[in-house]
Structure 1
Amino acid sequence: MSSSLGNLRDLYQQVILERYKKPRHRGKTDPVDRYQKGHNPSCGDTIELTLKLNAAGDTIDAVKFEGEGCAIAMASADLMAEALTGRPIAEALEMVQRFQNMMQGQEEFPQEFRKLNVMQGVSQFPVRIKCATLTWHTLKAALEAAEPGETDHFISNE
């Protein structure tokens, strides 16, 4: 194994643990302009995303999450919330697709989002990919929902 790959794996583990233990975007946005629950049946991760949009409704002002799950799911949610704050919805949806492509080893993020590239480490463990992508699937459903407000249905990433 090359040393750079070893370093990437160390960084991956370090970032995941740090974000899991001390998430920066846990909670609920005020107001809640979009709300979506996500669930990963294969391992029991559950996430509740809330989004605050700008006045025009086309840009994400804040993303917060609550839920229970493994370190990968929670770290992915926290990194996603950080990366998408201040982004136009159209760009956020493109980033969802890019993240999914990255999980399949096809793409990575440009330098300004290099923290998200740390999550590439997950792609080596196919069974954990759903843990990393849960929050992104949930975000996509939240953004594509026409009406704000709380719904009881979960989005599942099975």
Structure 2
Amino acid sequence: MLSAVEEAAQGTKLWCGAAAAMAWFGGRRGRKAAVTGLAAVAVAQLLANGLGKQLTDRPRPPREWIPHDGVDDRPDSSSFPSGHTAAAVAFTAAVARSWPQAGGVCAVPAAMVAVERVQSGAHHPSDVVTGAAVGLAGAWLVRRAPRLWLRQRLWRRRARAFPG
């Protein structure tokens, strides 16, 4: 069962499929949740894979620790943080804010992705915990960025209108 989740989570296929289903069947709320979820995945992937893995060079768990043959399929990139977990948590957290019931449904495969990353030997538990934190940060940034941008824009207008 976990290997099926791993396959679905590769390349964020699982989250893109969930977003498509939400947009198709969920009406306006589903479309909003889908867009927000995919934006959060993009931000989390950028933070985890584009920044986190580039700044760290943590090796994957030793082969001796993994009691199965699937250990040969592990990526060569840094183990820290888990990009799969970051994407899963980001999507779930962002969707849950827009559509709580869908977020609850997404939480099950998101948790399975996190467990699978440790069980498969691809990550240390701390990589997965940090990936989850990165995912939460990605969802928060997507939620807050428009407000922060608008606030900054209004502040600049006010500063131009009432100089010094």
- Is the helix fraction higher in 1 or 2? 2
> Does the alignment reach a TM-score above 0.5?
no
Q: TM-score, normalised to structure 1's length?
A: 0.37
Q: TM-score, normalised to structure 2's length?
A: 0.36
Larger Rg: 1 or 2? 2
- Is the strand fraction higher in 1 or 2? 1
